[in-house]
Amino acid sequence: MQRKRIVLKIGSSSLTEGDGTLSPVKMAAFCHAIAGLRHAGHELLIVSSGAVAAGFRDIGYASRPATVRARQAAAAAGQALLMQHYRFQLQHYNIIPAQLLVTRSDFTEEKHFQNLHAAIEELLSRKILPILNENDSTAVDELTFGDNDMLSALVSGAMHADLLMLLTDADGVYSADPKEDPEAFKYDELQTIPEQLLRAPSRSALGTGGIGTKLSACRAAADTGVEAYVGTLSSTEELIQASEGNGTGTYIRRKSSRVMRTRRQWIAYHASASGSLFVDEGAADAVLNRGASLLTVGISRIEGDFFRGDIVDVYAGSRKIGRGRVLIDHMQLADTNSEAAIAVHRDEWVSFS
């Protein structure tokens, strides 16, 4: 059996009772599955929902709160309770969990991104189980991932995981909602994701994401070379089988066998662009097909105020062909008398298909 690095994401619906409160029985079953996968030799990272479910009753809400500030308050109280549950259950298997609360800025800010990567690698090297969650108690709209599905996809790419497993109350991806369409069928695997599935509106009342958000996350993972799986947590044995490619859910195959380095992942998927460069066809061919750096002589137009070290998007006509870290600022590029120079080095460039 091949040892794998697996990111395991579990949603609120898989950890809670019908009334929205955290279920100790389901928590115990999940921790048993974690121990089973670790015993099978796999390296795990957990992305866990459940903080709001763990905390809303303790701070006086009769049911899962609907407003943003009420959910943030419940999450603030619930994070500690959620980790208490994990620590209590995992101690039976001699597994030590470590909590990491993150926001979108931990991915968009390059230094934060590097520090997060280094911290997780250190935990894994010491056989500690990282448990990540979005910092719901402080995150604002522009700093959120939208849901833990996308967080798990970004983590799986950043940590060069072999497999992302999204555990939910659905036993796979269907062609349509099987509750409404008797002819709906389940996909065993998807090489590409149909657009109509990405727009699927279904979601659990206990969580924030539906199948559409899960498939968007799977596509993001596939873009970074990570295979994904969508299925249920039925038993430890079936979860181990799923990790080995024999699951009863749906596999979303990765687009490439090539692994994108962490720095290039940050440039491609997390960094904010400070401007745009428009290049001629000769320059486009050089960077896309010949592995060359982008030279200033191939740039026909610029947009935005950017400086050395900033990230820029690069276009050939109306088509975005890639992005990279620029080595020259906008004023120098605007100077038509400047000598030919490297605008974006090939080591700091990412091509878009």
Read out DSSP for 271-305?
Answer: PPP-EEEEE-HHHHHHHHHS-PPEEGGGEEEEES-
* Predicted TM-score (pTM) above 0.85: no
Are 188 and 245 members of one domain? yes
Residues 131 and 112 in one domain: yes
Structural domain boundaries, residue 57: 5-263
Dist CA 174 CA 249 (whole Å): 10
Q: Choose the final residue of a domain: 235, 263, 291.
A: 263
Does 108 score more than 90 pLDDT?
A: no
Binding-site residue set: 9, 49, 136, 148, 168-169, 208-214
Query: Could you tell me where the DSSP H helices lie in the chain?
Result: 24-39, 51-55, 68-90, 105-108, 110-125, 148-158, 195-198, 211-223, 236-243, 262-265, 281-289, 330-334
CA dist 317 and 184 (Å) reads: 42
pLDDT in tens, 297-309: 999 999 999 999 9
Looking at the structure, do residues 281 and 216 belong to the same domain, yes or no? no
| Spatial contact of 53 and 71, defined as CB atoms under 8 Å apart | no
Does one domain contain both 225 and 347?
Answer: no
Structure tokens at 42: 């796999």
What average pLDDT does the segment 34-42 reach?
Answer: 96
Which is higher by pLDDT, 78 or 143? 78
Q: What is the pLDDT of residue 41?
A: 94
How many structural domains are present in the chain? 2
Question: For tokens 């990412």, what's the residue?
Answer: 350
The verdict on 205 and 333 lying in the same domain is no
Rounded-to-integer distance, Cα 254 and Cα 260, Å: 12
Are 288 and 315 part of one and the same domain? yes
Closest C-alpha to 204, from 20, 22, 70 = 20
* Same domain, residue pair 200 and 310: no
Range 202-231 average pLDDT: 76
233 and 285 part of one domain: no
Binding site for substrate, by residue number, is 49, 136, 148
Looking at the fold, whether 176 and 276 belong to one and the same domain comes out as: no
User: Are residue 286 and residue 344 in the same domain, yes or no?
Assistant: yes
Residue stretches of the annotated binding site for ATP: 9, 168-169, 208-214
Query: CATH code at 240?
Result: 3.40.1160.10
Same-domain pairing of 287 and 252: no
> Are 295 and 257 within one domain?
no
Domain boundary among 216, 236, 263: 263
Indicate the pLDDT class of residue 142, thresholds 50, 70 and 90: very low
Q: Which domain CATH number covers 338?
A: 2.30.130.10
Given 244, 263, 282, the domain boundary residue is 263
* Percent of the chain clearing pLDDT 90 (strictly above): 59
Residue 234: the pLDDT is 86
> pLDDT band at 103, cuts 50/70/90?
confident
